[in-house]
Structure 1
Amino acid sequence: MFDHDPLAVFSWTELTLRLGTASLIGLLIGLDREITGHEAGIRTHALVALSSAMIMVSALMLAAQLRGEDYAPDPLRAVQGLSQAIGFIAAGVIFVRGANVVNMTTAANIWVAAAIGIAAGAGQYRLVLVGTGFGIALLTLVKLFERLLPRRDKSKQNPDD
């Protein structure tokens, strides 16, 4: 199950597994943002992961279908295009409120959802599982650790710090 051929996406089962995995983990990754009341919540993260997986699967399928003696399409261009698009979306959720930059974690979370979608779309299930584990750990365990750190008043900081 974990070492599938990345181009073996022509079966309904494999296609459903790849897109379903991306969608479910996108929901899971977006749960933290939903609970904390951010605009980009579970639906946004699930849609980012699903769309990333769909684009990756489509790129792999097209590469397999169009490959010939004189032509070898490059499905990695889909990853490059997704990176640019997700960067644009993530940048759109970041804004400055006074002296504070807001929604950096939400933007990073969207990047993780896209990366999980790309990996799921490529059939890289081990990468999906390990990446999801680290992503959830960073969202939950690090948040608990941050609560133990002393707070600093950002409004009194030197702007050159």
Structure 2
Amino acid sequence: MLDWTEIALRLGVATLVGGLIGLNRDLRGKPIGLKTLGLVSLATAMLLVLVHSDEAKIVSDAGSRVMQGILTGIGFLGAGVIVHAGRHFRVRGLTSAACTWLAACIGIVCGLGQWRVVIIAVVITFAILTVGGRTERWLHKKLGGKDETEQEPHPGSSSDNRPT
């Protein structure tokens, strides 16, 4: 059985690294950022903490197939939350889609009765949602990312040569 510290460490590091990858993408003007990838990384780590702990036997083969079906279906639901707004082809709703997927993961973990994992994940989630945007904007200013007021070129135009 994993203790509180080990669960917090695993989920915290996953969230931090996912957030750093998101910050990198945001600084390069890509439509995904610190909050979104932090939440996705948290959700996936939460499920793997669950299935790779001493309590892994609580997830049967049938339960594993149910989890796969839920997460696939929720992925489609989350895709419907993502909206291309206006004529500048700006992507919106990625964090909401990530929250949808994370909520499904939390529901799975609740259904399995893994309360320590749920509590730590919820605390991290609300920390990201509460201060993540401000942290992202502050880091954006400090690290000199792409100005959010710059216009995105139309996809496929000759000026669409941004680094990946």
TM-score (norm 1): 0.50
Please, which runs of 5 or more residues in structure 1 have no aligned partner? 4-63, 65-71
Q: What corresponds to 2:149 in structure 1?
A: 153
Given residue 96 of structure 2, which amino acid in structure 1 is its aligned partner? T
Q: Could you list the per-position Cα deviations for residues 54-97 of structure 1 after superposition, in whole angstroms to 9, with x for gaps in the alignment?
A: xxxxxxxxxx9xxxxxxx86211110010111001000111222
Q: Structure 1 residue 160: deviation in Å?
A: 2.8
Aligned residues: 93
Matched to 2:67, the amino acid is V
- Give the structure with higher Rg (CA): 1
In 1: Cα distance, 2:79 partner to 2:150 partner: 22
Deviation >6 Å, runs of 4+? none
Aligned residue among 127, 144, 153 for 2:134: 144
In the superposition, the TM-score normalised over structure 2's length comes to: 0.50
Q: Secondary structure at the match of 1:155?
A: coil
In the other structure, the counterpart of 2:67 is: 79
What letter matches 1:153 in structure 2?
Answer: T
Cα offset, 1:156, TM superposition? 5.5
- Sequence identity percentage: 33
1:96 to 1:154, Cα distance in 2 relative to 1, 3 A: farther
User: How do 1:80-99 and structure 2 match up within 5 A?
Assistant: 80-97=68-85, 98-99=88-89
1:113 counterpart = 2:103: yes
